[in-house]
């Protein structure tokens, strides 16, 4: 189990996020692994698009 300081706070270490309609998708903060390594950038490598409901588009 990873150290609690390394667990992604956006997805609580699950690697998945859920919207208000209960659709689950990969966490855009940690990239889906649930862990933030020391020194890892929290910004996405490239901008991503969202729809009018602020859901990420793949």
Compute the average pLDDT of residues 2-6: 74
Distance CA 14, CA 11 (A): 6
Residue 8 covered by a domain = yes
Q: Is residue 23 part of a domain?
A: yes
Query: Residue 2 pLDDT more than 60?
Result: no
> Is residue 45 a part of any domain in this protein?
no
Q: What is the pLDDT of residues 9-58, one digit of tens each?
A: 889 999 998 888 898 988 888 888 999 888 877 776 677 788 888 777 76
DSSP codes of every residue in 15-47: SEEE-TT--EEE-TTTTTSSB--TT---S-SS-
In a domain, 20, yes or no: yes
Q: Give the DSSP H or E segment for 25.
A: strand 24-26
Task: Determine, yes or no, domain membership for 25.
Answer: yes
Number of domains observed in the structure of the chain? 1
Domain span holding position 25: 1-35
Q: Is residue 50 part of a domain?
A: no
Task: Supply the pLDDT for residue 14.
Answer: 93
**φ and ψ at 9, to 5 degrees?**
-75, -20
d(CA 34, CA 26): 10
Residue 41 included in any domain: no
Considering only residues 5 and 26, tell me which one the structure prediction assigns the higher pLDDT: 26
How far is the C-alpha of 58 from the C-alpha of 24, rounded, in Å?
Answer: 13
């Amino acid at each position: 189990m990873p150290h609690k300081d390394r667990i992604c706070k956006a997805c609580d270490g699950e690697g998945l996020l859920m919207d208000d309609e209960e659709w689950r998708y990969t966490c855009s903060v940690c990239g889906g692994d649930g862990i933030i390594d020391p020194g890892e950038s929290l910004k996405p490598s490239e901008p991503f698009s969202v729809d009018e409901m602020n859901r990420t588009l793949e």
